[in-house]
Amino acid sequence: MSEIKVEEKQVNTEHHENKKPREKLFHITKRLDVSLKYKIILRVVSILVALVVCAIVLFIFKPGKFGAFFKESFNSLFGSTNKFFNILYEFAFLLGIAIAILPCFKMKFWNLGGEGQVLMGCLGAALVSKYVGPHVPNFICIILMIICAMIAGGLWAFIPAFFKARFDTNETLFTLMMNYIAMGIVEFTVQLVDPTHGSFAGLTSGVYHTSTNISILISFIVVSVLTVFMYVYLNYTKHGYELSVVGETRNTAKYIGINVKTVIIRTAIICGCLAGIMGYLVVAKQTSINKDIIGGKGFTSVMIAWLGHMNVIEIVIMAFLVAFISRGSNQVSTKLGLSGSFVQISIAVFLLTILAFEFFLNYEVHFNKQLFSKKKKLEEVKE
Amino acid sequence: MFALLLCEAFLLTPIFLFGSTGETLTEKSGHLNLGTPGTICVGGAGGMIGVAVYDSICGGFANSNPFLTFMFVLFFALLFGALSGLLFSFFTVSLRCNQNVMGLAYTTFGIGFYGLIATLVNRPDGFLNQYCGTISRLFMTRSEAPNGFCEIFLSHGLLFYLSFVIAIVVAVVLKRTRVGLFVRTVGENAGSADAAGIDVSKYRYITTIIGCSISALAGLYYFVEINNGLVEFKNIDAYGWLAVALVIFTLWKTDLGILGAILFAFLFKLPEIYGLPSASLNILFQYLPYFVTVVILVIISMVNKKAVQAPANLGIPYFREER
């Protein structure tokens, strides 16, 4: 008891000492409606600032090379046909995964498992190509590969979605762990089937045998079709409407008669199937599989989908920019003799800068003008 | 054989323990920091920079003092960890950005940063290796009898024991003290905490900065004790995700985290030491911790008891005017 009294006394004395209530320098309010013009201007500014920040980071590690970042990046885009196709492949890859996981995000289902779902798709496709491929015509093999990849990817998305719908299990952590389980399964299978190479190197059936550039072009076309499909699916179908309602508020969805559990599971399976198709495309181009074949692009795509505000058009732009930064900084690092890790740094810095600018999109800062004027008055009095 | 396994497993334990202790502390205040693998990498990079700075100050390995080296390395790892925490909380508390996106971006950054610093700092004469050798021998009590009690429990560097001490201290602070209660309140219901006069932003900033500093020590430990100053890293980010998994596995309790970390290290090292019948089974065994974590995650959601759940406001940025 006595201790509490002492505390109270202290509190009282403190209170008397600062009689004046503290006034804050600024306060923050939420922006309720944002005009399209403001949005576009902010986006353009944030992208430009992000590019400059990337160049500054390069400047820190290689003093005197501020302009090199821009020069080499644009060189990587327009330098030669091969370089352009490299960017195109990276773009298609990132966009495809981002589009695949998009419905989940729209439903506020944090699917961080894009990496694992694509990887399982790769595994499904590669297994079919290895075991069924030699015995059937090529086009049947391709169809079988795609179906198998979709099943594998869909299954990998279904598992967390089922537990989310049934027991409300935390899907962020669940899907994250599923990525690594998928890696384990791939490594295990590869070791079991093909211990000498450590990858199914030299798959022949159901994969592109044309030149690399044509195979990239095919991937790009498939991804474009998927993108258009997703745009229509989200904006003009009943499913798309249902999943956005579930994302906004669960209870509203329940009251208007949407079966929330079904929607969650269905959407996740669609995500997984699309990721599986991406897996097929990867295997078809690389003609092999190993556990690092996705190389963290699943996570990058999560950031792209979020920073694209779950809007297909914005996602396309974001994916292109990230592909541009990625290939550009790759070129920079090889030209200037930096390590390849610079690519990861510049992608992260670019995304972080854009993320920081999100604040100005959602919130408005009001400076306390009275306080400023009061301070001025006080200063005047003192003088 | 078993003693060797124990010894190896104990050697690996602090990575998981540092990582999960830091992450638990952060998560208790309502921050899901997926940047932990990145923070671990940045901590390791901090260690490298610490060695390089000390090397340039004392002018060569011949004049160096192991204790001072240790202090430099520790200081830089903690500094970089704290900066990571500051950045993370600036983005998520002040700018109210999405924590998952921020965390993933920071992980990407951290892995890149480690690689870049490694190539910038490393020299062909292997000075990092020399320095790390002196640090890890600094507080070591070498036993005479191999595979004995001393080998298993007393033959490690100071950082090893520090990880256990920190885990226990964090557990006691969170469970028994007033500050710990406030931290938990902020994580469970930031609105009520604010109404009770707790400064939510301040608590989130401080816990995240301290948590990230602790996580960064995992990277330092990896660099100094396990890699012995070699800059190549294979799976430091995989260790990081395991540390995040460990937080769930131990139900957000750092004292349980000690046992969990030992178990994870045990599972990780078991196939390597004993050698299972086939190489593919070895691989499957190494991924067992992730699977176990998923099972735990499902079980705690089935049980639906508050005591075992994640903090209720985990991952939700707090904005006072949004109520």
Contacts of A196 (CB under 8 A, 6+ apart): none
Does residue A155 lie in a domain region? yes
Q: What is the mean pLDDT of residues A375-380?
A: 64
pLDDT of residue A375: 63
Does residue A69 lie in a domain region? no
The number of residues making up chain A comes to 383
What stretches of B165-259 adopt beta strand conformation (E)? none
The domain total for chain A is 1
Q: How many Å apart are CA B317 and CA A18, to the nearest integer?
A: 30
Q: Which of residues 77-136 of B touch A (CB under 8 A)?
A: 91, 95-98, 100-102, 104-109, 111-116, 118-120
CA atoms within 13 A on the CB side of A138: 8
Band of residue B159 on the pLDDT scale cut at 50, 70, 90: confident
Could you say which DSSP state residue A170 is in? -
Domain extents in chain B: 2-313
Could you say which DSSP state residue A366 is in? E
Which of A16-30, A81-95, A246-260, B85-99 has the weakest average pLDDT? A16-30
* Separation of first and last alpha carbons in chain B: 60
pLDDT of A14 over the 70 cut: no
Are A82 and A144 contacting, i.e. CB atoms less than 8 angstroms apart?
no
Query: E strand or H helix at B164, and its extent?
Result: helix B158-176
Are A105 and A233 contacting, i.e. CB atoms less than 8 angstroms apart?
no
pLDDT 10s digits, B222-242: 888 887 777 676 667 778 888
Q: How many Å apart are CA B172 and CA B321, to the nearest integer?
A: 34
Neighbours of B230 (CB within 10 A): 14
Q: What is the mean pLDDT of residues B215-225?
A: 89
pLDDT of A9 over the 50 cut: no
Q: Do B108 and A296 touch (CB under 8 A)?
A: yes
Among chain B residues, the shortest Cα distance to A27 is held by B321
Band of residue A294 on the pLDDT scale cut at 50, 70, 90: confident
* Separation of first and last alpha carbons in chain A: 51
Band of residue B6 on the pLDDT scale cut at 50, 70, 90: confident
Which of A84-98, A346-360, B181-195, B260-274 has the weakest average pLDDT? B260-274
Task: Collect all residues of chain A within an 8 Å Cβ-Cβ radius of residue B304.
Answer: 167
Which of A138-147, A373-382, B180-189, B203-212 has the weakest average pLDDT? A373-382
Provide the 3-class DSSP secondary structure of residue B10.
Answer: helix
pLDDT 10s digits, A121-180: 999 998 888 888 778 888 888 899 999 999 999 999 999 999 999 888 888 889 988 998
Helix A171-193 / helix B236-249 crossing angle, nearest 10 deg: 130
Does residue A245 lie in a domain region? yes
Q: How many Å apart are CA B48 and CA A238, to the nearest integer?
A: 56
pLDDT 10s digits, B242-275: 888 888 888 888 888 899 999 888 888 887 777 6
Q: What is the mean pLDDT of residues A187-204?
A: 77
pLDDT of A275 over the 80 cut: yes
pLDDT 10s digits, A311-325: 899 999 999 999 988
pLDDT of B163 over the 50 cut: yes
Task: Quote the tokens at residue B108.
Answer: 């990407």
The number of residues making up chain B comes to 323
Are B43 and B218 contacting, i.e. CB atoms less than 8 angstroms apart?
yes
Closest CA to A279 of A109, A122, A63, A87: A122
Higher-confidence residue of B19 and B319: namely: B19
Are B2 and B226 contacting, i.e. CB atoms less than 8 angstroms apart?
no
% pLDDT > 90, chain A = 28
pLDDT 10s digits, A44-68: 999 999 888 888 888 888 777 777 7
Contacts of B71 (CB under 8 A, 6+ apart): none
Closest CA to A93 of A234, A329, A327, A294: A294
pLDDT of residue B126: 75
Task: Quote the tokens at residue B313.
Answer: 């406001």
Q: Do A177 and B297 touch (CB under 8 A)?
A: yes
pLDDT of residue A117: 93
% pLDDT > 70, chain A = 89
pLDDT of residue A26: 77
pLDDT of A379 over the 70 cut: no
Among A275-279, A294-298, B191-195, name the most confident range. Answer: A275-279
Could you say which DSSP state residue B307 is in? G
Q: Do B297 and A338 touch (CB under 8 A)?
A: no
pLDDT 10s digits, B103-145: 999 999 998 898 888 888 877 777 777 787 777 776 665 554 5
Å from B24 to nearest chain A CA?
Answer: 14
Q: How many Å apart are CA A112 and CA B37, to the nearest integer?
A: 15
A28 beta partners? A365
Task: Give me the helices (H) in chain A, please.
Answer: 2-17, 36-61, 68-78, 81-106, 114-131, 138-167, 171-193, 212-236, 238-248, 250-255, 260-286, 297-307, 312-336, 341-362, 369-382
Q: How many Å apart are CA A179 and CA B241, to the nearest integer?
A: 10
Q: Do A339 and B118 touch (CB under 8 A)?
A: yes
pLDDT of A3 over the 50 cut: no
Which residue in the set B97, B112, B298 is minimally distant from A342, CB to CB?
B112
At the top level of CATH, the class of B2-313 is: mainly alpha
Residue A364 buriedness (CB in 10 A; 0-12 / 13-18 / 19+): middle
Q: What is the mean pLDDT of residues A280-307?
A: 86
pLDDT of residue A21: 59
pLDDT 10s digits, B21-53: 999 999 999 888 888 999 999 999 999 899 888
pLDDT of residue A337: 76
Does residue A200 lie in a domain region? yes
Summary mean pLDDT of chain A: 83
Does residue A24 lie in a domain region? no
Among chain B residues, the shortest Cα distance to A165 is held by B301
Looking up tokens 């541009």 gives: A324
Does residue A78 lie in a domain region? no
Range of the structural domain that residue A97 is part of:
87-336
Q: How many Å apart are CA B22 and CA B34, to the nearest integer?
A: 12
Does residue A369 lie in a domain region? no
Query: E strand or H helix at B209, and its extent?
Result: helix B200-221
Q: What is the mean pLDDT of residues A219-235?
A: 92
Å from A292 to nearest chain B CA?
Answer: 12
pLDDT 10s digits, A72-82: 777 777 777 88
pLDDT of residue A348: 92
Å from A299 to nearest chain B CA?
Answer: 7
Q: What's the CA angle centered on B137, arms B135 and B143, to 5 degrees?
A: 160
pLDDT of residue B147: 57
Å from B295 to nearest chain A CA?
Answer: 9
pLDDT of A376 over the 70 cut: no
**In Å, how far from its chain's centre is CA B263?**
16
Could you say which DSSP state residue B94 is in? I
pLDDT of residue B79: 94
Give the best residue of B32, B107, B109, B319 to mutate against chain A (max A CB count within 10 A): B109
Are B32 and B239 contacting, i.e. CB atoms less than 8 angstroms apart?
no
Q: How many Å apart are CA A248 and CA A271, to the nearest integer?
A: 19
Does residue A20 lie in a domain region? no
CA distances from A219 to A89, A270, A284, B121 (A): 8, 19, 9, 40
Which residue in the set B34, B112, B297 is minimally distant from A174, CB to CB?
B297
Give the best residue of B89, B267, B287, B323 to mutate against chain A (max A CB count within 10 A): B287
Higher-confidence residue of A346 and A382: namely: A346
Closest CA to B30 of B201, B196, B264: B201
Which of A216-220, A230-234, B148-152, B216-220 has the weakest average pLDDT? B148-152
Q: Do B116 and A363 touch (CB under 8 A)?
A: no
pLDDT of residue A2: 43
Identity at B299, one-letter amino acid code? I
pLDDT of residue A374: 64
Give the best residue of B36, B290, B309, B313 to mutate against chain A (max A CB count within 10 A): B290
Q: Do B109 and A302 touch (CB under 8 A)?
A: no
Task: Quote the tokens at residue B80.
Answer: 């970089």
Summary mean pLDDT of chain B: 84
